[in-house]
Amino acid sequence: MAVDYAVIVVYLAGMLAMGWWGMRRARSKSEFLVAGRRLGPPMYSGTMAAIVLGGASTIGGVGLGYQHGLSGAWMVITIGLGLLALSIFFSARIARLKVYTVSEMLDLRYGGSSGVISGIVMWAYTLMLAVTSTIAYATIFDVIFGLDRVVAIILGGAIVVAYSTLGGMWSITLTDMVQFVVKTIGVLLLLLPIAVVKAGGFSAMAAELPDDYFSPMSIGAQTVFTYVLIYSFGMLIGQDIWQRVFTARSDRVAKLGGTAAGVYCLAYAVAGAVIGTAAKVLYPQLASPDDAFATIVKDALPIGVKGLVLAAALSAVMSTSSGALIACATVANNDIWSRIRGRAKTPTTHDEIKGNRLFILIMGAAVIVIAIVLNNVVEALTVAYNLLVGGLLVPILGGLLWKRGTGTGALASVGAGGTTVIVLMAWQGILANEPIYYGLLASLAAYIIVSLATKPTDEAILATWRTRLAGETPAEGEAPTPATT
């Protein structure tokens, strides 16, 4: 086991080294928050795949395969489909806007009327997303080192906060590329074939398990539909995802590189389900499906390979955690704190980098504390995506697709959708399907009705919006149309 420990320690040390290297490149707000908008296709594809395929996709995806068989791939498949839709239909326009946050896009489209409200909703989503990833450290470090849950969360969280604070998006981009490579080797090239061989091959798996383990829809059509609403639509509007789109060198890179990452997600989804199905054959009586990944890694893999695959799991968690953390800090600083203080957004380059570093530290500490207090990853993740999709999907896509949508309609949509989701989660339960169904309906109805009942968006604002969509942008670092609330 000493070899496996060495692999993990070298990996963690490498993450910190990448953070230090990234710090030397992050000398402006653009470089710190969006890697200078300079990523080419290979790096963009790798980092985008790394952030969307986190601990839930890896550990949770294998767990769903253990519980439902091949149909357990649907959760990660819907993530991949959402990324494909974003990349093919929206990413080029998003990249051309040259903004830093989703709320800045809403301000630009609606004339500054989204204000602090949309920022708070997005901040809550990114905060809970970071928390869910941080909780997952407990499982991985327990398998690796037998650490206490609290110690594991603090250790993993501290490493992510450290390299994210040092170099911002440059550090996260560099570490995510390493994490992408480690995940590809560890999960797709090593764990997948070894798990199938250990289980006796596909014929033995088919003979051992019920037929529904090999049915593509045994998980249930309603479950798949809910996954589409939550994860596919969530991929279209999340700050953590958009902030990666902003790093693309061009709209062509965003479109083609994101499409490649989406296809990779589909392959990763099937791999996780197959690994989980093999684990069901090998360990049919596990206490929890989420134990399947750690168990098969611990018992089925040889020394050295085990360390690499555990590093792959750690990579999955860290990539999502770091991406959510910088998104959370960016929203907190640029969309909430700046607006509350009512100050200009560009005092000096030095001050902006320092301020964003401070917010990463503050948000990172908050994430670690909340992760220690909470214990249910699925519930935390569901709260995050329900708030995001129920509150912001309609005004964001409406702004991109419907000229008649107004700022007042957008605010009504955020309020109606967000309130409905919160009330129904409290009434029906966090994991119920009703909150997201009725939240989206309330959001859409409020957006259409209020937009049609109010004065159309000023033509000058729409002209500026069309100019930005065409790629005619102000100088780097210049803020979009200022908020009025």
Q: Kindly state the average pLDDT of the residues 310-335.
A: 85
pLDDT value at residue 343: 52
Residue 25, pLDDT > 60, answer yes
**Lowest-confidence range among 21-35, 289-303, 305-319, 471-485?**
471-485
- Could you give the CA distance from residue 182 to residue 184 in angstroms, rounded to a whole number? 5
User: Does residue 399 have a pLDDT over 50?
Assistant: yes
Residues whose CB is less than 8 angstroms from the CB of residue 376 and which lie 6 or more positions away in sequence, other chains included: none
CA distance 319 to 52: 8
Average pLDDT over the chain, rounded to whole? 86
Integer Cα distance of 323 and 246 in angstroms: 13
d(CA 238, CA 389): 9
Among 263-272, 336-345, 399-408, name the one with the lowest average pLDDT: 336-345
User: For residues 457 and 21, which has the higher predicted lDDT (pLDDT)?
Assistant: 457
Nearest to 50 by CA among 250, 222, 213, 187: 187
How much is the pLDDT for 114?
62
pLDDT over 60 at 349, yes or no: no
The pLDDT score that the predictor gives to residue 345 is 46
Give pLDDT tens digits for 44-67: 999 999 888 887 788 889 999 999
In terms of phi and psi (left: phi > 0; alpha: psi -120 to 50; beta: otherwise), the region of 93 is alpha
What's the pTM value of the predicted model, to 2 decimals?
0.85
Torsional sign, CA 432, 439, 115, 93? positive
For residue 378, give the nearest of 213, 132, 112 by alpha carbon: 132
Average pLDDT (406-411) is: 92
Q: Tell me: pLDDT of 164 over 80.
A: yes
What pLDDT does 479 receive? 45
Average pLDDT over residues 152-166: 87
Q: Give yes or no for residue 377 having a pLDDT over 90.
A: no
pLDDT tens-digit series, residues 427-440:
998 888 899 999 99
User: 458-470 burial, b if ≥16 CB within 10 A, otherwise e?
Assistant: eeebeebbeebbe
Q: Select the more confidently predicted residue: 148 or 271.
A: 271
Q: What is the pLDDT of residue 350?
A: 45
Tell me which residue of 321, 355, 286 sits closest to 162, measured CA to CA: 321
| Distant-in-sequence, close-in-space partners of 339: CB < 8 Å, separation ≥ 6 | 115, 116, 119, 483, 485
**Phi first, then psi: what are they for 216, rounded to 5°?**
-70, -15
Q: How confident is the model at residue 481 (pLDDT cuts 50, 70, 90)?
A: very low
State the DSSP code for 248.
Answer: B
Whole-angstrom distance, CA of residue 393 vs CA of residue 226? 15
Confidence of residue 376 (pLDDT cuts 50, 70, 90): low
Rg (CA), the chain: 22
CB 382 within 8 A of CB 137: no
pLDDT band at residue 43 using 50, 70 and 90 as cut-offs:
very high
Mean pLDDT is lowest, of 331-340, 372-381, 389-398, for: 372-381
194-208: per-residue pLDDT in tens? 999 999 999 999 999
Using alpha carbons only, give the angle 324, 328, 334 rounded to the nearest 5 degrees: 140
Q: How confident is the model at residue 277 (pLDDT cuts 50, 70, 90)?
A: very high
Contacts of 336 (CB under 8 A, 6+ apart): 116, 119, 120, 123
Q: Which amino acid is at 143?
A: V
Residues in the chain: 485
